[in-house]
């Protein structure tokens, strides 16, 4: 029997059911199947059992001894993830069961209690948080007063839609299309009426939450790790979400009758000053804190890792260009996130690095590439598409090298848990 298990005398009864429900919760959080498999294997080992685990983004199958779980629908595919306060507490539970401190049956009850918890800040927090989130992204993409006003206004509309859609899973499936249609129609009507002037770049901050940059990057990471089916399905799903968002924008164009070619010309002008992107990162993170329900103890570390990724990207851009910037930002956030996880009051690396995916903008680039393609600007679309693919590869490579480089540190985390 496993020595760790022999010393604590805690029964492994109910382990299969607990691992199945935990795997489902971790999958719904958006964690890669590579990490989920490793977590579940460590837990099974802690209770003196050997598990065979098969996980896809939409299915879980676990076998312990002669007992095998029925194939389980892991998570309904929909935009977004679990509130991050729940994810943080799930990891706290994981740290306990990796040491077999409680029985699997008790752990299962704790998991269900965690998943029943509410959003920390409620509807008001979601609305204010999304407005700040949108303005922060706007200050990164195009720091102009007009961009910030549009980002805040359209962000408030998306925030209201997200509040109204809570608990309505079927509606959430079509929410990216509806959100893209509503905000693009309002924005394009304002352009046509001469109330504002701008381009497709102004739409990106409000729609940033739906852009599947993290999904595409995780999929590429899983492909690089040898998880062919999971990686491919995430990449396909992310591409489908992009097409749905673009479809909503194109319907808005047809309804408003807006035919100005300059709409598809991106603009990254900075009319506020050099400081704007740095403030934008802070506003973005505070928005994420409110909108994604980040726990107070995790906020300082999330803010730190977001700035690490941001400065890493800036340094890389300055040294060798944008691709190296994406790689360096990804590498530094992966390493620093794991180091933070070692601390006594640790924040899981998944929570600390997840917001930084929006800073590295693979989702925004993907949307722009498709937008220019549908405008029949094929050369520009091809350039954007190549940038998208290489940026996602660069970020994934940074995550992969970071995971390999920090493997000894993760081993210490497990031993000291």
pLDDT tens, 273-291? 888 889 999 999 999 999 9
127-144 mean pLDDT: 91
Half-sphere exposure of 181 (CA within 13 A, CB side): 12
Q: What is the distance between the alpha carbons of residues 28 and 236, in angstroms, rounded to a whole number?
A: 17
Most confident of 2-6, 59-63, 276-280: 276-280
Asked whether residue 12 carries a pLDDT value surpassing 80, the answer given is no
Determine the pLDDT at residue 9.
54
Task: Please report, rounded to a whole number, the percentage of residues in the chain having pLDDT higher than 70.
Answer: 81
282-302 mean pLDDT: 94
Determine the pLDDT at residue 91.
92
Determine the pLDDT at residue 32.
86
Q: What is the distance between the alpha carbons of residues 28 and 20, in angstroms, rounded to a whole number?
A: 12
Asked whether residue 186 carries a pLDDT value surpassing 90, the answer given is yes
- Using a 10 angstrom Cβ sphere, with 0-12 exposed, 13-18 middle and 19 or more buried, the burial of residue 272 is middle
Q: What per-residue string of b and e applies to 219-245 under the rule 16 or more CB within 10 Å gives b?
A: bbbbbbbebeebbebbbebbbebbebb
Contacts of 132 (CB under 8 A, 6+ apart): 283, 284, 286, 287, 290, 291
Determine the pLDDT at residue 141.
81
Closest CA to 308 of 270, 346, 342, 339: 339
pLDDT confidence tier of residue 292, bands split at 50, 70 and 90:
very high
Q: What is the distance between the alpha carbons of residues 233 and 413, in angstroms, rounded to a whole number?
A: 31
Asked whether residue 160 carries a pLDDT value surpassing 90, the answer given is yes
Closest CA to 107 of 21, 6, 35, 41: 21
Determine the pLDDT at residue 152.
94
Most confident of 50-59, 78-87, 307-316: 307-316
Asked whether residue 37 carries a pLDDT value surpassing 50, the answer given is yes
Closest CA to 315 of 327, 300, 302, 298: 327
Asked whether residue 417 carries a pLDDT value surpassing 60, the answer given is no
361-390 mean pLDDT: 59
Q: What is the distance between the alpha carbons of residues 350 and 359, in angstroms, rounded to a whole number?
A: 15
Lowest mean pLDDT among 79-93, 255-269, 388-402: 255-269
Q: What is the distance between the alpha carbons of residues 230 and 56, in angstroms, rounded to a whole number?
A: 5
Closest CA to 323 of 223, 385, 395, 405: 395
Determine the pLDDT at residue 181.
93
Whether the CB-CB separation of 53 and 146 falls below 8 Å is answered with no
Most confident of 12-21, 194-203, 323-332, 389-398: 323-332
Q: Which two tokens stand for residue 304?
A: 């730190």
Asked whether residue 269 carries a pLDDT value surpassing 70, the answer given is no
Determine the pLDDT at residue 77.
42
Q: What is the distance between the alpha carbons of residues 1 and 187, in angstroms, rounded to a whole number?
A: 65
Most confident of 111-115, 199-203, 266-270, 370-374: 111-115
Q: Identify the residue whose tokens are 């929909």.
A: 78
Mind listing the pLDDT tens digit for each residue in 193-202?
888 877 777 8
- Using a 10 angstrom Cβ sphere, with 0-12 exposed, 13-18 middle and 19 or more buried, the burial of residue 408 is exposed
346-363 mean pLDDT: 80
Rounded to the nearest integer, the mean pLDDT of the chain is 81
Whether the CB-CB separation of 95 and 46 falls below 8 Å is answered with no
Lowest mean pLDDT among 76-85, 110-119, 213-222, 386-395: 76-85
Determine the pLDDT at residue 183.
92
């Amino acid at each position: 029997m496993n020595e760790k298990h022999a010393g604590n005398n805690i029964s492994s009864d109910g382990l299969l059911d607990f691992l199945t429900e935990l795997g489902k919760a971790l999958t719904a959080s958006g964690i890669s199947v590579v990490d989920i498999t490793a977590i579940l294997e460590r837990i099974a080992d802690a209770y003196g059992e050997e598990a065979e685990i098969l996980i896809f983004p939409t299915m879980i199958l676990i076998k312990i001894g002669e007992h095998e779980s029925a194939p389980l629908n892991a998570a309904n595919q929909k935009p977004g993830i679990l509130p991050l306060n729940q994810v943080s507490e799930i990891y706290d539970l994981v740290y306990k069961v990796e040491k077999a401190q409680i029985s699997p049956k008790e752990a299962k009850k704790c998991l269900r209690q965690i998943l029943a918890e509410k959003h920390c800040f409620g509807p008001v927090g979601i609305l204010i948080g999304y407005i700040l989130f949108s303005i922060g992204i706007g200050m990164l993409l195009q720091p102009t007063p007009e961009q910030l006003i549009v980002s805040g206004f359209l962000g408030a509309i998306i925030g209201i839609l997200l509040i109204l859609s809570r608990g309505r899973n079927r509606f959430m499936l079509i929410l990216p299309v509806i959100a893209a249609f509503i905000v693009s129609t309002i924005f394009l009507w304002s352009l046509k009426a001469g109330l504002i002037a701008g381009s497709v770049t102004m739409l990106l901050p409000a729609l940033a939450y739906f852009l599947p940059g993290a999904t595409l990057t995780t999929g590429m990471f899983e492909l690089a790790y040898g998880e062919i089916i999971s990686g491919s399905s995430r990449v396909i799903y992310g591409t489908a979400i992009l097409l749905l968002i673009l479809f909503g924008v194109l319907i808005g164009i047809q309804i408003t009758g807006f035919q100005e070619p300059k709409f598809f010309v991106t603009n990254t002008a900075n009319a506020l000053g050099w400081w704007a992107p740095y403030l934008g990162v802070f506003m973005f993170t505070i928005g994420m804190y409110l909108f994604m329900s980040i726990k107070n103890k995790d906020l300082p570390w999330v803010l730190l890792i977001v700035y690490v990724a941001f400065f890493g990207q800036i340094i890389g851009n300055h040294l060798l260009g944008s691709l190296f910037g994406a790689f360096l930002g990804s590498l530094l956030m992966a390493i620093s996130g794991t180091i933070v996880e070692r601390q006594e009051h640790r924040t899981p690396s998944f929570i600390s690095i997840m917001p930084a995916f929006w800073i590295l903008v693979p989702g925004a680039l993907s949307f722009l590439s498709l937008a220019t393609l549908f405008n029949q600007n094929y050369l520009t679309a091809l350039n954007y598409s190549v940038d998208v693919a290489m940026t996602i590869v660069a970020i994934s490579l940074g995550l992969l090298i970071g995971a390999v480089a920090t493997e000894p540190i993760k081993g210490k985390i497990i031993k000291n848990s």
